[in-house]
């Protein structure tokens, strides 16, 4: 770890920009058609782009600035996380992280220890709790937080970012009481006629507006932490879903001083932020294809874990609830139209089957006006009515999905919907069968930014304990080639970047990984144990273990 930090912080790169040969590798990539391509060498030009892929026995040039001997190890393209939250990942590393807790008692002990270790913090802020993992059978409450922070407010976001848990001091600071009404698209959970301490979706704004904002130096530290985490697991590019001005300025500061390693395909947090940051349209690519704001992120509904996902029929485990639409139909179309008018790509969060249908309806209507290569995106597309699956392909709508959600959520999904409404649940194979462009990501920090866990999930449909036997809804399993394509070319295509990076084609940036194993021959269950030996970005080595 110390070596990795030294490499990242010192800006170490071997070799310096020059023409060279990466040779003697077990090279593997997926081309634009989805076929696996094997090679044994890469020619890289002085600008850090691929000049040529070389096959075994093909003549190597001799007039080079350097030659790197891969010693037969496996080389694959740098992996691309199509959907993540960069600054949230960084701040999760700086603040209290509850994502590893397995019970309420364990979480309470961790909160108390963090509060004691940070006596100068006016608020105790954290992330990552999950009542489903705890087996709690209910949401946590303010009473569960009593006495843990010496009277200071506590505000902890759920692992999916769609609910928050507050103590009594935080509720009092926000003036949330029995008469407080939740905003549209939000819910204040109640117990015995009083706020319980949990706020869902848009109601979280009642609390978050009071939380002391981070300073620029905090954003810079968070970005450094995020890049460390991403590079450690081979993520060389990411779609940042929900960039605001503070995050964008941190990216620009890092780019200006040569410290922006990971490529960031930025989607603004709504049209207002897009206009503030980018102005009248998408930005150009900056810092040698390391940063661009090209799109706008919108929210149609919430998440399954907090029962905010908008469903066509009531929840099986909450028969009076169908979820929380976060926009009206008219508002969705107005915001999509406004973004499309200025040439921004549109990515809409939709998890429930009703939310997905609503976004597909809007795309149908707007496509007649906003033609050309729009690459509409639906983020998550977790629970889709089987009748709606073919509609994704009608206008080339990209299904931006996260395999790790399936392996984490399958038991909860059965409980939330019942066993008869899962025909379009996390339906990767069905998407491909319907010729839908597929892009994979993690939704980090909701799930770890680890594509190797995602590859296993996509191929096996099993969780970290290899359950259920044979996989959940095994008919939706896909091949290694299909999954790898969704983490490389497909994720780049989803961000209008497939001509710049993603599959090690001539002319693309030389972003690649050296691995400790042949992933084609490895058991799918062993893929999460894959070690990253080296990471190269733009023809320069940025990590070596």
SS3 track for 359-425? HHHHHHHHHCCCCCCCCCEEEECCECCHHHHHHHHHHCCEEEECHHHHHHHHHHHHHHHCCCCCCCE
Q: Report how far residue 302's alpha carbon sits from residue 474's, in angstroms, rounded to the nearest whole number.
A: 26
**In the prediction, which pLDDT does 86 show?**
98
**In the prediction, which pLDDT does 33 show?**
87
**In the prediction, which pLDDT does 407 show?**
96
> Residue 13 pLDDT > 80, yes or no?
no
Q: Report how far residue 117's alpha carbon sits from residue 99's, in angstroms, rounded to the nearest whole number.
A: 19
pLDDT tens digits, residue range 110-157? 999 999 999 999 999 999 999 999 999 999 999 999 999 999 999 999
Whether 399 contacts 392, CB under 8 Å: yes
Residue 64 burial (CB count, 10 A) = 15
Q: Report how far residue 367's alpha carbon sits from residue 349's, in angstroms, rounded to the nearest whole number.
A: 18
Q: Report how far residue 502's alpha carbon sits from residue 486's, in angstroms, rounded to the nearest whole number.
A: 10
pLDDT tens digits, residue range 113-124? 999 999 999 999
CA dihedral 96, 416, 378, 461 (to 10 degrees): 80
Burial class of residue 12 in the structure, from the number of CB atoms within 10 Å of its CB (0-12 exposed, 13-18 middle, 19+ buried): middle
Q: Report how far residue 331's alpha carbon sits from residue 337's, in angstroms, rounded to the nearest whole number.
A: 10
**In the prediction, which pLDDT does 17 show?**
54
**In the prediction, which pLDDT does 10 show?**
38
CA 87 to chain centre: 11
> Residue 396 pLDDT > 50, yes or no?
yes
Q: Span 57-74, mean pLDDT?
A: 93
> Rounded to whole angstroms, what are the CA distances from 239 to 218, 221, 267, 383, 525?
21, 20, 7, 22, 27
**In the prediction, which pLDDT does 32 show?**
84
> Residue 476 pLDDT > 60, yes or no?
yes
Domain ranges of the chain: 2-78+535-544, 87-208
**In the prediction, which pLDDT does 19 show?**
85
pLDDT tens digits, residue range 296-351? 999 999 999 999 999 999 999 999 999 999 999 999 999 999 999 999 999 999 99
DSSP per residue, 187-200:
EEEEETTEEEEEEE
Third-level CATH fold of 2-78+535-544:
Urease, subunit C; domain 1 (2.30.40)
Domain 87-208 has CATH 3.10.310.70: yes
pLDDT tens digits, residue range 182-236? 999 999 999 999 999 999 999 999 998 898 889 999 999 999 999 999 999 999 9
**In the prediction, which pLDDT does 274 show?**
98
For the four alpha carbons of 506, 508, 512 and 517, in that order, the dihedral sign comes to negative
> Residue 4 pLDDT > 70, yes or no?
no
Q: Report how far residue 439's alpha carbon sits from residue 84's, in angstroms, rounded to the nearest whole number.
A: 12
Q: Report how far residue 323's alpha carbon sits from residue 309's, in angstroms, rounded to the nearest whole number.
A: 5
Whether 20 contacts 539, CB under 8 Å: yes
Q: pLDDT grade, residue 545 (50/70/90)?
A: confident
Q: Span 424-441, mean pLDDT?
A: 98
**In the prediction, which pLDDT does 5 show?**
39
pLDDT tens digits, residue range 164-181? 999 999 999 999 999 999
> Residue 404 pLDDT > 70, yes or no?
yes
Computed over every residue of the chain, the mean pLDDT equals: 94
> Residue 15 pLDDT > 80, yes or no?
no
Q: Report how far residue 513's alpha carbon sits from residue 533's, in angstroms, rounded to the nearest whole number.
A: 7
**In the prediction, which pLDDT does 315 show?**
98
**In the prediction, which pLDDT does 208 show?**
87
**In the prediction, which pLDDT does 14 show?**
44
For the four alpha carbons of 335, 340, 341 and 343, in that order, the dihedral sign comes to positive
In sequence order, what are the residues at sequence separation of 6 or more whose Cβ sits closer than 8 angstroms to the Cβ of residue 374?
Answer: 340, 345, 346, 367, 395, 396
pLDDT tens digits, residue range 85-97? 999 999 999 999 9
CA 1 to chain centre: 24
**In the prediction, which pLDDT does 160 show?**
87
* DSSP label at residue 152: -
- Spatial CA neighbour of 537 closest among 52, 36, 17: 17
In sequence order, what are the residues at sequence separation of 6 or more whose Cβ sits closer than 8 angstroms to the Cβ of residue 510?
Answer: 22, 42, 44, 48, 49, 50, 504, 536, 537, 538, 539
The rounded percent of the chain whose pLDDT value lies above 70 is: 97
């Amino acid at each position: 770890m110390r070596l990795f930090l030294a490499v990242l912080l010192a800006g170490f790169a071997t070799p310096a920009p020059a023409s060279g040969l990466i040779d003697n590798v077990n090279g593997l990539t997926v081309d634009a058609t989805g076929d696996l391509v094997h090679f044994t060498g890469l020619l890289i030009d002085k600008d850090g782009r691929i000049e040529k892929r070389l096959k075994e026995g093909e003549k190597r040039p001799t007039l080079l600035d350097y030659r790197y001997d891969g010693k037969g190890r496996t080389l694959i393209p740098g992996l691309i996380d199509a959907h993540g939250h960069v600054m949230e990942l960084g701040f999760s590393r700086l603040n209290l992280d509850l994502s590893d807790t397995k019970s309420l008692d364990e979480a309470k002990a961790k909160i108390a220890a963090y509060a004691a270790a940070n006596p100068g913090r006016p608020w105790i802020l954290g992330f990552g709790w999950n009542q489903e993992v705890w087996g709690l059978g209910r949401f946590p409450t303010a009473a569960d937080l009593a006495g843990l922070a010496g009277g200071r407010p506590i505000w902890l976001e759920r692992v999916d970012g769609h609910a928050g848990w507050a103590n009594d001091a935080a509720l009092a600071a926000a003036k949330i009481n029995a008469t407080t009404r939740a905003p549209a698209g939000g819910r204040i959970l109640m117990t015995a006629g009083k706020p319980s301490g949990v706020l869902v979706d848009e109601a979280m704004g009642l609390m978050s507006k009071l939380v002391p904002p981070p300073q620029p130096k905090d954003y810079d530290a968070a970005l450094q932490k995020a890049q460390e985490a991403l590079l450690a697991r081979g993520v060389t590019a990411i779609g940042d879903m929900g960039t605001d001005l503070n995050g964008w300025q941190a990216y620009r500061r890092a780019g200006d001083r040569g410290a922006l390693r990971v490529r960031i395909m930025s989607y603004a947090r709504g049209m207002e932020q897009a206009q503030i940051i980018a102005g009248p349209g998408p930005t150009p690519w900056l810092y040698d294809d390391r940063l661009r704001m090209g799109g706008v992120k919108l929210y149609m509904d919430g998440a399954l874990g907090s029962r905010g996902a908008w469903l066509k029929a009531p929840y099986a485990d909450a028969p009076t609830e169908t979820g929380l639409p976060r926009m009206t139909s008219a508002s969705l179309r107005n915001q999509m139209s406004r973004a499309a008018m200025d040439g921004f790509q549109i990515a809409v969060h939709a998890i429930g089957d009703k939310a997905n249908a609503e976004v597909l309806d809007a795309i149908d209507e707007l496509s007649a006006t906003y033609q050309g290569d729009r690459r509409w995106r639906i983020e998550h597309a977790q629970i889709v009515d089987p009748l709606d699956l073919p509609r994704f392909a009608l206008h080339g709508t990209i299904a931006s999905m996260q395999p790790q959600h399936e392996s984490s959520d399958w038991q909860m999904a059965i409980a939330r919907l019942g066993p008869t409404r899962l025909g379009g649940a996390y339906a990767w194979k069905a998407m491909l069968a319907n010729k839908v462009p597929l892009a994979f990501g993690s939704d980090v920090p909701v799930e770890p930014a680890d594509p190797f866990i995602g590859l296993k999930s996509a191929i096996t449909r099993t969780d970290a304990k290899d359950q259920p036997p044979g996989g959940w809804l095994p008919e939706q399993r896909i091949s290694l080639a299909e999954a790898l394509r969704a983490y490389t070319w497909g994720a780049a295509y989803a961000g209008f970047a497939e001509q710049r990076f993603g599959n090690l084609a001539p002319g693309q940036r030389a972003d690649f990984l050296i691995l400790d194993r042949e992933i084609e021959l490895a058991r799918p269950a062993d893929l999460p144990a894959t070690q990253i030996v080296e990471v190269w970005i733009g023809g320069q080595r940025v990590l070596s273990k």
